[in-house]
Amino acid sequence: MAAWRQGAVEVRGPRPIAERMSQIHIVRRPYLLAHRGASGYAPENTFTAFDRAVAQRADGIETDVRATRDGVLVLMHDERVDRTTQGEGRVADLEYSAIQRLDAAYGHPGRVEAEAVPTLEEFLARFGGRVGICLEIKQSGIESAVVEMVRSRGLLAPRPWQSAAPRGKAVLPPVSFTSFDLQSAAAVARLAPGSLVGHLTPEFDDAAIGRAIAQGLNQICPPANLCTPARVQGARERDLSIRAWQVRNREALRTAVLALVDGVTCDWPDWTLDANK
């Protein structure tokens, strides 16, 4: 297999097209998940942000799942409602009836009108099967309820997920799962065998790869700025999919694209995936 150098690192496999032929703007395209919906343009984790993501042709939507005190699965990033709504308190301490009274667009500069906090059920009913969905488990203990809701809607992966070839098209199942909590991710992998389940990790090294594999996961989700062609290839050779997060600027996106990751999360679904821009 051909070898080339990225800085001090020898990389096996094809050099990214963008680097071989800088006069043309073609790169292997990772899929783009709109992070909390099109949250760069609309209040995060609202139907406005999700609809905007679809309108901007995102390949999928990433969102965050928690449970209220009475067990309703809702989409909210923070443990507390304080930052994104007019309310206060922990989601896990509030009844759904209280969550229903909150405005999820509260204080957002782009707010047009009040927005409900979406439930997972509403979200799956509206977007399931239309775009790839990535559910991040934000609260330990809800794994089974989340998987069963996805299963009941027929949205679990139709066949066991398989690694994409290095230059093949990335595969995005109807619903994939992630968590920063390795045990939560492992629980989902046991409950939904064959699904794409990733560990969100701030590290991207052999130890992080080994932890994901040891827990039966098939995806690792490192920060974009840690993605190099060599690291991505190393993870892929161990049959992991690689999806980058923390794409906070165009340089981070470019880094991930050039490293040939399978996918990214990004607040701005309309950003180009052309590494030369």
Q: Report the interface residues with Ca ion, using CB under 5 A.
A: 64, 136
Closest listed residue to residue 35, CA positions, set 245, 262, 258? 245
Q: Which does 46 bind (CB under 5 to 8 A by kind): ligand G3P, Ca ion, none?
A: none
Distance of CA 56 to CAs 26, 34, 61, 112, 125, Å?
A: 20, 9, 11, 19, 20
Tell me the closest approach of the beta carbon of residue 55 to Ca ion, in angstroms. Answer: 21
Closest CA to 70 of 95, 98, 102, 100: 95
Q: Nearer Cβ to Ca ion, position 136 or 143?
A: 136
Instruction: Please identify, using beta-carbon distances, which residue of 32 and 155 lies nearer to ligand G3P.
Output: 32
Q: Quick one: 64 or 143, whose CB is closer to Ca ion?
A: 64
Structure token pair of residue 121: 């059920």
Q: Which does 200 bind (CB under 5 to 8 A by kind): Ca ion, ligand G3P, none?
A: ligand G3P
Nearest distance, CB of residue 105 and Ca ion, angstroms: 18
Residue 188 interacts with which of Ca ion, ligand G3P, none, CB < 5 to 8 Å by class? none
Token couple for 32: 């783009």
Among ligand G3P, Ca ion, none, the one that 265 touches (CB under a kind-dependent 5 to 8 A) is ligand G3P
Q: Residue 59 touches which of Ca ion, ligand G3P, none (CB < 5 to 8 A by kind)?
A: none
Nearer to Ca ion, 230 or 264 (CB): 264
Considering the complex, what minimum distance in angstroms separates the CB of residue 35 from ligand G3P? 6
Note the residues at the interface with ligand G3P (CB under 6 A): 35, 62, 64, 77, 136, 200, 245, 265
199 binds, among ligand G3P, Ca ion, none (CB under 5 to 8 A by kind): none
CA 266 from centre of chain:
9
Please report how close the Cβ of residue 247 comes to ligand G3P at its closest, in angstroms: 8
Nearest to ligand G3P of 35, 231 (CB atom)? 35
If the CB atoms of residues 179 and 228 are measured against ligand G3P, the closer one turns out to be: 179
Nearest to 44 by CA among 22, 77, 90, 68: 77
Stated as kind and residue range, the H or E segment containing 257 is helix 250-258
Closest C-alpha to 133, from 238, 50, 213: 50
Nearest to 58 by CA among 272, 275, 277: 272
Residue 92 CA to its chain's centroid (Å)? 23
247 binds, among ligand G3P, Ca ion, none (CB under 5 to 8 A by kind): none
Residue 136: CB minimum distance to ligand G3P, A: 5
Nearer Cβ to ligand G3P (77/231)? 77
Smallest distance from Ca ion to CB 11, Å: 30
Secondary structure of the chain: what % helix, strand, coil (to 5)? 30, 20, 50
Query: 245 burial class (0-12, 13-18, 19+ CB within 10 angstroms)?
Result: buried
